[in-house]
Structure 1
Amino acid sequence: MAQPKTPGVFIQEVTSFPNSIVEVETAVPAFIGYTEIAADGARSLHRTPFRLSSLTEYKAHFGGAPVTQFEFGPMPDDWSAQTSFVLQEPGTSALGADTDSHVAHARYYLYYALRLFFANGGGPCYIVSVGSYDNAITKDDLQAGLDLLTEQPDATMIVIADTMSLSRQDAEAIQRATLSHCADLASCVAILDVFAGSSGLSENDPIGNFRSGIGLVGLDYGAAYYPWLATFIVEFEDITIAFLTANARGTLLDRLNDFVAKRPDAPTLKNFVRDLGLAPASQPAAPALRQAAHHALQAIVPFYQSLMLALQSAVNLLPPSGAIAGVYARTDFTRGVFKAPAGVDISSVVKPAVALSDADVQDLNLPLDGKAVNAIRAFPGRGVLVWGARTLNGNSEDTRYVSVRRTLIMFEQSIKQALQSFALEPNTPATWSAVASEIDNFLINQWKAGALFGATPVQAFSVTVGLGTSMSHDDVANGVLKVIVSVALVRPAEFISLSFEQMVQPP
């Protein structure tokens, strides 16, 4: 207070509590990929990280869903009794097969990943649009989007589902780059999909391929999930022949004509087939006629109904990274970042694409090289659950668990931001005491919330700052202030052992 210079009463408020450290956000993923549009009014959002909080906002700035088109695999000539269909993306073998022949421009996953994110409890996120649905999916585009996040420190998770439409080698390159990016920034984690993750473990060895291609850098900053998910993001009412390529539509119309030619009501049915094949610009009423024909043929032609169901299943087969990001966000909100995002259900999912046994999960969870892949399993009465909580560095005693790594990131970034205010302050015991007090109060609150292990704060953490403890005379003389923070983080109860004894009645 200034020195009083006139008679009177003067009031000076005394601060009772030290400054507090604010916990940084922990559940803000960045989705990198391709969108229908990218605009904020007249401003282009191409390769510009943009924060939003709802699907409505996304559609306003980035448009809607892509129309994924499929073609037929090997099929018989007569479809009259056909109940199942082999569908494949153009230029690939049967859907789900890993032939390393995925072509660019095959499928755009960002929109569906975002839908799964919001369906599972997601909130704020960043969208990095690197191109439109008219562009081929390339490694260079996705790498450019990743590089943009260097200046976005509040993005705490990275999801790049569109890597699954690259070749396996290019997908692995982007995933390695993502892990390296997260390790360099030390402020985010990568949620990774397994390439060809709809394939069974014995079909094309997707897990072995993933582990051999993921590299060795930044493994504790990433977590992978298997298998892919059969979802119901795209509803049956939205499935039409628009999801077939032009060649496939031609084949379908031929088979429909073959079928209706044998029917007594052939003239009427032929009109439906004709209307179904109308080009969009052929006449103003074409959309309405196609829609009416579509519904009529579903009711009359058995294989047409089966085909629409097969198309719905194919479109809804999605990599899990978007859903997992939502699970992370939901767990952080309901329990805290220290709670492992596992043992919880995944919404908008029918089933995992591959059913896993206990033996399968053991191999995924405890490989010799430590590159754990978290399983997704279906349990009767419980739904589809995330059944793994490990990072890719499963052999590390410190950071083998996702929750531990993410809690450390939260502690480090929260304390780092708070200590910015002490830059250029005198490097004296008064400053050291203020620093220690702020960190102590922050960690006490975290201990009370359940993030730290210990019956008392002394058992849960320690903060050391001062001459002769964390700093030398040279440090002080050179303007260096060092703080040593030790924490006892909680870890998930991954293995629960039960012992039973049967009481025998005495004779």
Structure 2
Amino acid sequence: MNLSTIQTPGVYIQELNAFPNSVVGVATAIPAFIGYTPQAAYEGKSYTNVPVKITSFADFQAFFCLPDPPAPASPSKQYSPEYYLVAEKSQPLKGDYMLIAGTYYSIVPDPNTVYYLYNSVRLFYENGGGDAYIVSVGSYGPPSQKAGTPGIPVVNPNVQLNDLTKGLSLLLNEQEPTMYICPEATLLSVEDNGTLMQSMLLQATQMQTAMCLFDIIGGDAPDPILYTEDISNFRMNTGSVGLNYGMAYYPFIGTTIMQTSDIDYTNLFGGDLKQLEAVLNPPSAPNPAAASIIANIQSPSSTLTVTQNHNALLIASQTYSLMIKHILADANILPPSGAMAGVITTVDNAVGPWEAPANTSFVGVSSLPISLSESQQANLNVDAVSGKSINAIRTFNGLGILIWGSRTLDGNSQDWRYIPVRRTMIFLEQSCKLAAQAYVFQPNDKNTWEAVISMISSFLSSIWKQGGLQGASASEAFSVACGLGSTMTADDILNGFMNVTVKVAVVHPAEFIVLTFQQQMATSS
């Protein structure tokens, strides 16, 4: 109570806080997805190139999905890749194929119609995701109406580096996201993908609030022997800045996210029913039932929906049923970054960011395009030349598909080579920094310094008790210093700076990583 403000006799009440300020831990698992969506509008307002925070897949649908037409019409397709069957002279050596009436057909997508963000967000929520940011950089571009080259990694010319880097830069104003994810980065050329990854790492280094989840070009259809070239290209193109803020997973994952109802005859041959009929009803093996259904689709005599016609074709033609099965298998091979974000969210909610998101399985993942052995994984974990580590996703007999690695790209660093260490430090840094802002208008004196030390020490003690810091005692796990002669000089105080030094043992007891932050206190203008 300020006695100088008392001007008349009477009873005055002074309320004292029973407890000092405390540090509230920041959220640790909030991914920001950057890419292309079916649309980006809500209540008549465009949300293209606007970071939108969502809390559920229903929120994502409201902002970024096409509305369904009224019944009995079939629901809108939010993602509709187009596929072609390309006749080959002999059995293809690369890519998926089918043998129909003695002819080999390669199953190849139209590259312009392949996108990953929609299904990656679905995988995120299927694996336990919660809050997330979506930055839609545009809607889907026009199809090329022709097949890509069999066995060649898909490059979608509608996916532009400038679009994705612009979406990334919008996150400079958002402090909350803790993961940057561009599922469609692998649809860029190798050079553009490298530029984007370096931009993501640079921004993460500047922000110090988020890590980058990377997918690797070629991980969707790796060659059993030459897959190492894809790994080398990735390592060559990630640069050398901010590697401890990046993590990569290999290979892609075969999911069950898309079902039979998501692919139908409108996804085949660009919707050209004549080409479809030539495959389903060839002269060498006629199928009148399939021909009749296709004729009815071309000249409808009844109001059958696309779904009804699709189901009729599935019954009438085994070839059509196998085509849909093969195309679904190809469309369901997705980058693992979205699913990994969901796994990280689940692990954080159950334990904390200091728990490695490894030795656990995915939800909705049924296969892998390549089965890595222990020796192959060793080459991913440690690279003598670049030092960049890549986390493997592997199949184990009796256990299924497991995430088998938790390393950052900075594999040679003793401090930062593990993902939990980097993520725990981001969590501690941001939590302490935000809590210290409560003292920005307090006098820069011993009382304030002691309050800050007490507040941060109490917070770190609770983290240590939860297992987030290493050590048999609190003194082995952390220390906090703030004061004249220890972290500040007389000049610092005169200039209005309060310096706080925090030492935490994240990897080994009594082996501290030092965190120092400086706060500008209120000064007279």
Q: Please tell me the TM-score bracket, short chain as reference.
A: 0.7 to 0.9
Q: What is the aligned partner in structure 2 of residue 252 from structure 1?
A: 276
- Taking the aligned partners of 1:284 and 1:388, their CA distance within structure 2 comes to 57
- Taking the aligned partners of 1:84 and 1:335, their CA distance within structure 2 comes to 51
Contact 1:106 1:165 in 2 (8 A): no
- Give a deviation string over 1:266-306, Cα, whole Å, max 9, x none: 3x443123235x2xxx6584653x54443333234332221
Segments of structure 1 that go 5 or more residues without pairing to the other structure are 91-102, 492-507
Contact 1:444 1:457 in 2 (8 A): yes
Q: CA deviation at 1:6?
A: 4.7
Q: What is the aligned partner in structure 1 of residue 226 from structure 2?
A: 203
Contact 1:470 1:484 in 2 (8 A): yes
1:348 corresponds to which letter in structure 2? Answer: G
Contact 1:32 1:146 in 2 (8 A): yes
Give the direction of change, closer, same or farther, for the CA distance of 1:82–1:355 in structure 2 (3 Å limit). Answer: farther
Pairing partner for 1:220 from 244, 247, 252:
244
Query: SS of 2:281's equivalent?
Result: helix
2:129 corresponds to which letter in structure 1? Answer: G
2:223 corresponds to which letter in structure 1? Answer: G
Q: CA deviation at 1:385?
A: 1.2
What TM-score do the two structures reach when normalised by structure 1?
Answer: 0.87
Q: What is the aligned partner in structure 2 of residue 98 from structure 1?
A: none
Q: What is the aligned partner in structure 1 of residue 194 from structure 2?
A: 172
- Taking the aligned partners of 1:284 and 1:122, their CA distance within structure 2 comes to 46
Query: SS of 2:312's equivalent?
Result: helix
- Give a deviation string over 1:391-446, Cα, whole Å, max 9, x none: 00011011101111011001111111111122242221111111111111111111
Matches within 5 A, 1:100-499: 105-134=112-141, 136-198=158-220, 199-200=222-223, 202-204=225-227, 205-246=229-270, 249-258=273-282, 262=286, 266=288, 268-276=289-297, 278=298, 283=300, 285=302, 287-288=304-305, 290-368=306-384, 369-490=386-507
Q: CA deviation at 1:73?
A: 3.5
- Taking the aligned partners of 1:248 and 1:182, their CA distance within structure 2 comes to 46
Give the direction of change, closer, same or farther, for the CA distance of 1:463–1:251 in structure 2 (3 Å limit). Answer: same
1:26 corresponds to which letter in structure 2? Answer: T
- Taking the aligned partners of 1:166 and 1:106, their CA distance within structure 2 comes to 13
Give the direction of change, closer, same or farther, for the CA distance of 1:247–1:236 in structure 2 (3 Å limit). Answer: closer
Give the direction of change, closer, same or farther, for the CA distance of 1:61–1:284 in structure 2 (3 Å limit). Answer: farther
Contact 1:121 1:327 in 2 (8 A): yes
Q: What is the aligned partner in structure 2 of residue 51 from structure 1?
A: 53
Query: SS of 1:16's equivalent?
Result: coil
More strand by share: 2
1:202 corresponds to which letter in structure 2? Answer: I
Q: CA deviation at 1:159?
A: 0.6
- Taking the aligned partners of 2:140 and 2:15, their CA distance within structure 1 comes to 61
Contact 1:30 1:125 in 2 (8 A): yes
Give the direction of change, closer, same or farther, for the CA distance of 1:432–1:295 in structure 2 (3 Å limit). Answer: same
Query: SS of 2:282's equivalent?
Result: helix
Contact 1:54 1:123 in 2 (8 A): yes
Contact 1:71 1:247 in 2 (8 A): no
Give the direction of change, closer, same or farther, for the CA distance of 1:476–1:84 in structure 2 (3 Å limit). Answer: farther
- Taking the aligned partners of 1:115 and 1:479, their CA distance within structure 2 comes to 49
Q: CA deviation at 1:331?
A: 0.6
Indicate yes or no: 2:92 matched with 1:70. no
RCO higher in structure (CA 8 A, sep ≥6): 1
Q: CA deviation at 1:210?
A: 0.5
Q: CA deviation at 1:17?
A: 2.2
Contact 1:427 1:476 in 2 (8 A): yes
- Taking the aligned partners of 1:340 and 1:156, their CA distance within structure 2 comes to 16
- Give a deviation string over 1:358-396, Cα, whole Å, max 9, x none: 011101111112210100112233232111100000110
Q: CA deviation at 1:207?
A: 0.6
- Taking the aligned partners of 1:34 and 1:293, their CA distance within structure 2 comes to 30
Contact 2:113 2:140 in 1 (8 A): no
Indicate yes or no: 2:108 matched with 1:88. yes
Q: CA deviation at 1:140?
A: 0.4
The count of residues paired between Structure 1 and Structure 2 equals 470
Q: What is the aligned partner in structure 1 of residue 519 from structure 2?
A: none
Contact 1:190 1:223 in 2 (8 A): yes
Q: CA deviation at 1:260?
A: 8.3
Segments of structure 2 that go 5 or more residues without pairing to the other structure are 67-77, 91-97, 143-157, 509-525
- Taking the aligned partners of 2:451 and 2:296, their CA distance within structure 1 comes to 77
Query: SS of 1:258's equivalent?
Result: coil
- Taking the aligned partners of 1:149 and 1:82, their CA distance within structure 2 comes to 54
- Taking the aligned partners of 2:441 and 2:14, their CA distance within structure 1 comes to 27
Give the direction of change, closer, same or farther, for the CA distance of 1:82–1:341 in structure 2 (3 Å limit). Answer: farther
1:24 corresponds to which letter in structure 2? Answer: V
Contact 1:257 1:273 in 2 (8 A): no
- Taking the aligned partners of 1:84 and 1:16, their CA distance within structure 2 comes to 79
- Taking the aligned partners of 2:308 and 2:19, their CA distance within structure 1 comes to 70
- Taking the aligned partners of 2:239 and 2:488, their CA distance within structure 1 comes to 37
Q: CA deviation at 1:200?
A: 3.2
Contact 2:51 2:133 in 1 (8 A): yes
Pairing partner for 1:42 from 35, 41, 44:
44
Identity percentage of aligned residues? 37
Give the direction of change, closer, same or farther, for the CA distance of 1:79–1:434 in structure 2 (3 Å limit). Answer: closer
Query: SS of 1:149's equivalent?
Result: helix
Give the direction of change, closer, same or farther, for the CA distance of 1:305–1:466 in structure 2 (3 Å limit). Answer: same
Give the direction of change, closer, same or farther, for the CA distance of 1:14–1:259 in structure 2 (3 Å limit). Answer: farther
- Taking the aligned partners of 2:484 and 2:118, their CA distance within structure 1 comes to 54
Give the direction of change, closer, same or farther, for the CA distance of 1:367–1:208 in structure 2 (3 Å limit). Answer: same
